[in-house]
Structure 1
Amino acid sequence: MNNLRIAFIGAGNMAASLIGGLRAQGLDAAQLCAGDPGEDNRTRVHTEHGIETFADNAKAVENADVVVLAVKPQVMKAVCLDLAPSLSEGQLIVSVAAGIPCTSLQTWLGGPSGALRPIVRCMPNTPALLREGASGLYANAQVSDTQRAQAEQLLSAVGLAMWLDDESLIDAVTAVSGSGPAYFFLLVEAMTAAGEKLGLPREVAAKLTAQTALGAARMVATSDVEAAELRRRVTSPNGTTEAAINAFQANHFEDLVQKALDAAAHRSAELAAQLGQ
């Protein structure tokens, strides 16, 4: 990565988090640039990270080895069609936009020559803003081993990056980790409200719940045993934790989680079909 030039198309929150992660890993500001029509976005990433910015995306991709597409899915087609004539052969394209399949990106970025592009499609999530993200990555057949390593290092700058052999599994990644933070926010919200009903001041309930979630997540992430075993270890027979777990399971908690993730994955596939046209 030390000799690469990386151009970001779009300089919003996700791009800014990736840029910040790369800078924290030691990449020089001169290796990075961003193109964005929004002056506020350009000013922010320039001020915070010292990188060069452009209002014209075509200028941003000049001499870039890696082009990161970090624009909203709804405008991706227009951005790609406009960008295609300015791309060079062999540039690695990394898309962090939800719902846009590689075949659509290939069509939009092919330009008049219909050139095949090496494309890595990623599904990051919002904790990437804190460099605690989780991303699923899929590479098309044009991506070299070296480019796979480059894409992995790029996404690893903001958290965990895991490769998928089948692009269709991006929908499952979306259901598990892409949308996943909201599920935990919902649980924290519900536990805070329940604690308040049990008599705790709301601020106390909120802080206890948030710290409990943080501690439990760290235990799962750093332990060499599965979550089920960790749960068993803290669930004493006939104790308070068992009473709560029994109440969850009596109301089909696992089935509800499965239905929720199935709905998210189904919606992800629907959006991919719509946005990829």
Structure 2
Amino acid sequence: MITETVGIIGGTGWLGGAIAKAVLAKGLVPAGNLIISNRSGNHPLAQQGACLVTDNQDLVDRSDVVILAVRPEHFASLGIDATGKTVISLMAGITAQAIAAQTSASAVVRAMPNAAVEIEQSFTPWYGFGAIAPTTKSLVQQVFECVGTAAEVEKEDFIDYLSALSGTGPAFPALLMTALANQAMQAGIPGDIAQLAAKSVVVNSSQLLASRDAQQMIDALVAYRGVTAAALQVMSLGDFEGQVGRALQAGAAVARKGLEA
């Protein structure tokens, strides 16, 4: 349990709300030490012990650490003074320096969770800017471990790249699952069977990777020289990895543009 007071601006949205629910459910934050802003001042999270306020500056004034769980385009009009505070930003594309300049925060953490926070399976990379005490770093790590796993990265640019990798959440698996199902249907497989088969590959079979090395699994399947090996060879010849790399670079480029996008 942490003793600092944590405020979440956007704490009733899907991302901020998921984090708020998790830290309360796991007892990371004592009742009354979690403050969330909400225009109406009324939300079910209050029944779980969160303190609701209607004014963002009031939240900042009452918090030791402030989490910004708002859309990037709303940041410019946020208008908060976080002098002496640590601000944790969940916004893509807005640099730590820009956040510090606008909020006067003494330290800024940029973090990039994904949609899997809803099932407490997100991977959240985070980067610290400014003088961040070890206790605050521990707090950041613990908050994001409530919704999955987390790791500190050494360079801020890594956050922009990872926004296009782990930050996309289920997007890439969803694309693969859709492609597999569509191709099966084009081959004449009934739609319901195609969907079940594709879901089994992406959702069920991929769970084997939780305890196995991915490259070793690929090598073993290729060495078997069977059906799977033939399919993998075609994907390799089609520059599958290169396409993934270009996709990630394109996403990272958008993240790096930030407010100019």
Structure-1-length-normalised TM-score: 0.85
Aligned counterpart for 1:188 among listed residues 154, 169, 177: 177
Q: 1:236–1:144: structure 2 CA closer, same or farther, 3 Å change rule?
A: same
Aligned 8 A contact 2:106 2:130 in 1: no
Aligned-pair CA distance for 1:26: 1.7
Q: Residues of 2 paired with 1:127 and 1:57: CA distance? A: 26
Aligned-pair CA distance for 1:211: 3.1
1:71 has 2:70 as partner:
yes
Aligned-pair CA distance for 1:215: 3.2
Q: Give 2:92's aligned residue.
A: 98
Aligned-pair CA distance for 1:266: 1.4
Aligned-pair CA distance for 1:63: 2.9
SS where residue 162 of structure 1 aligns?
Answer: strand
Q: 1:88–1:259: structure 2 CA closer, same or farther, 3 Å change rule?
A: closer
Q: How does 1:221-240 map to 2 (within 5 A)?
A: 221-223=210-212, 225=213, 227-235=214-222, 237-240=224-227
Gaps in structure 2 of 5+ consecutive residues: none
Q: How does 1:55-134 map to 2 (within 5 A)?
A: 55-79=54-78, 82-84=79-81, 87=82, 89=84, 91-110=85-104, 117-134=106-123
Aligned 8 A contact 1:34 1:42 in 2: no
Q: Give 2:148's aligned residue.
A: 159
Q: 1:180–1:15: structure 2 CA closer, same or farther, 3 Å change rule?
A: closer
- Letter matched to residue 36 of structure 1: N
Q: Residues of 2 paired with 1:124 and 1:105: CA distance? A: 18
* Identity level (%): 24
Aligned-pair CA distance for 1:216: 4.0
Residues 153-198 of structure 1: per-residue CA shift (max 9 Å, x gap): 1111111211111111112111211125312211111111122233
- Letter matched to residue 122 of structure 2: G
More helix per residue: 1
Q: Give 1:43's aligned residue.
A: 43
Residues 28-70 of structure 1: per-residue CA shift (max 9 Å, x gap): 4422121132x4x9525335x4422121112223332211111
Aligned counterpart for 1:250 among listed residues 211, 220, 237: 237
Q: Give 2:260's aligned residue.
A: 274
Q: Residues of 1 paired with 2:115 and 2:177: CA distance? A: 17
Q: Give 1:8's aligned residue.
A: 8
Q: Residues of 2 paired with 1:230 and 1:164: CA distance? A: 28
Q: Residues of 2 paired with 1:220 and 1:250: CA distance? A: 24
Q: Residues of 2 paired with 1:21 and 1:200: CA distance? A: 42
- Letter matched to residue 186 of structure 1: L
Q: 1:46–1:222: structure 2 CA closer, same or farther, 3 Å change rule?
A: farther
Structure-2-length-normalised TM-score: 0.90
Runs of 4+ in 1 over 6 A off after TM superposition: none
Q: 1:147–1:264: structure 2 CA closer, same or farther, 3 Å change rule?
A: same
Q: 1:217–1:141: structure 2 CA closer, same or farther, 3 Å change rule?
A: farther
Q: 1:165–1:239: structure 2 CA closer, same or farther, 3 Å change rule?
A: same
Gaps in structure 1 of 5+ consecutive residues: 111-115
Aligned-pair CA distance for 1:8: 0.5
Aligned-pair CA distance for 1:247: 1.6
- Letter matched to residue 51 of structure 1: A
SS where residue 193 of structure 1 aligns?
Answer: helix
1:146 has 2:135 as partner:
yes
Q: Give 1:30's aligned residue.
A: 32
SS where residue 110 of structure 2 aligns?
Answer: strand
Count of aligned pairs: 259
SS where residue 2 of structure 1 aligns?
Answer: coil
SS where residue 43 of structure 2 aligns?
Answer: helix
Q: Give 1:20's aligned residue.
A: 21
Aligned 8 A contact 1:179 1:264 in 2: no
Aligned counterpart for 1:204 among listed residues 193, 211, 229: 193
